[in-house]
A and B are shown apart, each in its own frame.
Chain A
């Protein structure tokens, strides 16, 4: 796949990566500032170096912790119910 576009979005500077597949279609993925980009193409590495400051990384880490608390689900199933209860 070949890199087609890097979109930097939001306060956490996520990279929305669009690539062109061998068949000519689009493939998408998102890179966040806690990810390892050492195996990415140089353009992505350069963008990460520029955009993902320590402040951005810290903000993203904090946001993730806050989101974890808000995520639906809350408790894990086995903490309150046995597996058989899952089937109702």
Chain B
């Protein structure tokens, strides 16, 4: 079988609750900063849980002239602005028709729908409420004229987007792809998760025996992907493989054995042509719900075998909250930065390990390590499971 085309992540840009660019994000991860705060951007007084990972400062952009006031769109463009500041990718340095955009989202522009139905510019906002609206707006902002794709595999969307972007490059449909994920905190999703009783009044404590649920966050996370043979200059790392599998079990609850996640991991490892023994580090989905962390632990043990006990596994949702469509992309960037900087960020607020979650979850402080092959896992509503395999630069 022919060796698949290698796809590099040349650079990444983010806007997050713990940092308005990639460097600030990384610094906050390794020093254990929490971005959880009282939500200020929209009314929450009637909601039981009123905290989340809200982005207080939308990156460097001062003048949003010409950009819609849709929060989701602005998160994406703030992340793109960080990416472009590092790469000089705006104005585009190559044929715009060969530049693609692939974004993942759980919510799209749903807040625009809320505002439209409340009578706030209903005609304009309804158009922006379509889930592929922010991705389209990002492509226009970049000047990209290649394929523009929006995927929505719930909280696995960021992983799906990076996998789909790598595929576009392998198929020569584009020479560069700006890809990642985003989602905005809004009343719609906060009301929903409050109703589901998935939100914790406590800290988010992945893999801790006292864990009592998640908190939501918002973010934009984008990478520039190119074929390695076309790359001139530095890179963060390589997308080696992507795998997906559906649970076929329940619309909102994960399959209790984690069989779907196990299949997704196996598929990603096969796509990457690596074995479980090659994996040096795992970025877990780690939402800190009672079920998720236990199920994920079991799935990792089955998919990686004895290796699961030998490698560090972390979750960064303790400080960020669950950033939904952006989560998997942020976690992928964290993996690559870990390899580049030789440090694995800790699992924030993990203090009393759950005996049923008995892997090495990097509690306390950042750990010196330089992983080469990394696995990032994601699980979402509707039984969507995704896994990415990444290689250090």
Partners in one complex: no
Residues of B within 8 A of A (CB): none
